[in-house]
Amino acid sequence: MQHSWRFLIIHVTVLLALLLTVTPLPTMVKLFRPDWPLLVLCYWVLALPHRISIGTAFAYGFLVDVLVGTVLGINAFGYSLIAFIIAANHLKIRNFSVLQQSLLIGLLLAFYHLLVFWGSHFLNGVYFRAAYLWPVLTGMIVWPYIFWFLRRTRRHFKVQ
């Protein structure tokens, strides 16, 4: 497999995560939907910070803004900030166990959700609800599976 095709695997996985984001779900289930694109981007920034970093996270965050219908730039800013934090500390985070990484991802997801809430509250007057943080819990739960699946994919296709 050529080098450019291997690099495409990264973007295919993020696009699949974007599809999971816009897949219609019942209202009760939708409250618990993890932030699939952000979780996948977190993995790729952690695994390959020289390939996927702040600019890519900003572009995919902007795409999430367009797909979901939020104020343009809110998710893009949040995605790029989380990508910066992970890229700046990727060597430390790699040494954590998957469960420790899951806790850290939970903190980053909570920070992201609070950032998006503050921006939405400032621009649209949205009010906080506790259910707003359910994706943080589900993101922490699915992180080990995303990590193991994407690591296996990266090794299978020799993405570097």
Residue range 107-116: average pLDDT?
A: 96
- Check pLDDT > 70 for residue 2: no
CA quadruple 48, 54, 58, 61: dihedral, nearest 10:
50
Tens-digit pLDDT profile for residues 10-60: 999 999 999 999 999 999 999 999 999 999 999 999 999 999 989 999 999
Spatial neighbors of 57 by CB under 8 A, at least 6 apart, are 41, 45, 79, 80, 82, 83
pLDDT at 102 exceeding the cut of 70: yes
At residue 3, the pLDDT reads: 66
Q: How far apart are the C-alpha atoms of 115 and 15, rounded to whole Å? A: 23
pLDDT tens column, 67-100:
999 889 999 999 999 999 999 999 999 999 999 9
Structure tokens, 118: 């503050």
* pTM across the whole model: 0.95
Secondary structure class of 69 (helix, strand, coil): coil
Report how far apart, in Å, the C-alpha atoms of 18 and of each of 12, 40, 60, 65 are.
10, 10, 9, 11
How far apart are alpha carbons 58 and 76 in whole angstroms? 5
Strands (E) in 80-133, as ranges, are none
Q: How confident is the model at residue 127 (pLDDT cuts 50, 70, 90)?
A: confident
